[in-house]
Amino acid sequence: MTREKRLVPTGDCFCGCGGEAGIGRWFVLGHDITAAGALRAVKGGLSLPQQLVEAGFGPERSVVQKAVDQAGWVRCEGCAYAGTPAGLATHTRTGSCALPGDESRKGKGGGAVTPQPAAEGALPAAGPGTLWEAGPCEPGAAPPVRAQTGAARGRLLPGQNDPSWGEVPLHLRQALRMPAHQLVTPVRGPLQAKEQRHVLSAVRAAQRMRMTGAHWLTLLTTERETFGSPTSARASAFYGALETILAAHLPSAEDRQDAPAAPEEAGTG
């Protein structure tokens, strides 16, 4: 078998600008966002399935299983969820998976609780090779939401208490941190308005790298002009970082076009 080429940081910025990134770093600060955007443009904006096929993955070869086998991911014993150890900890802490020997999800008389039909707009049931899980196993978990505005317009986003929000990679959160700091130091423009306090709070959470699912949903569904004027470089940098996170961590709406529609709920009597 051929071994994958091992990359090491050389001290030169990997975007090709010729700048010095520093010892142990891949990019000059902020240049990873520029490089990610440029790569998407050069590759023609490939959808997630196209990227998977290009990397050698797909229905017959699970990228999730390779992450479990080689990249330190772990699987939940009670459901199909797979993710980083930190993500699994969040998943089991906030969910109610039927782990072996766990009687908490059994009905009266010892029988297992019958799964309920998916609510309208919910994601299809997850399987062993599913790339994007439908959310925590807790029956009362917030359902996925369709973004109507902002950088995520048209995309189906996980509910605010979905454990996947805790799995946004560190380098992506770090890439958002500096633009967030610059955006609120000092606070200017529309973010000063009282009605935008929740947005300002979410930006400050990004600055501190202490984001919750509610913070992510707020930022990803907030229109560009709320962060600053069309000529604001700070607002553009922050919004661009959000778009990079969407492209790198969250599947786009077109990635779900072939997903079966969830059955409509029967009317309540």
Mean pLDDT by 10-residue block, N- to C-terminus, for the chain (269 residues)? 68 85 81 77 70 81 85 79 76 56 42 36 32 39 82 87 86 92 92 92 92 92 94 93 87 45 42
Q: Count Cα neighbours of 246 within 13 Å in the Cβ-side half-sphere.
A: 27
Residue 10's pLDDT is 83
Q: 162-201 pLDDT, tens per residue?
A: 888 888 888 889 999 999 999 999 998 999 999 999 999 9
Residue 118's pLDDT is 37
Residue 7's pLDDT is 77
Cα Dmax for the chain: 69
Residue pointed to by tokens 């992450």:
67
Residue 64's pLDDT is 84
Residue 110's pLDDT is 40
What SS3 class is residue 156? strand
Residue 46's pLDDT is 67
Locate all alpha helices (DSSP H) within 22-169, ordered by sequence: 31-42, 48-54, 63-70, 85-94
Residue 267's pLDDT is 44
Distance CA 166, CA 159 (A): 12
Distance CA 138, CA 162 (A): 10
Residue 140's pLDDT is 47
Residue 204's pLDDT is 93
Distance CA 87, CA 92 (A): 9
Residue 97's pLDDT is 58
Identify whether 186 is preceded by a cis peptide bond (ω within 30 of 0).
Answer: yes
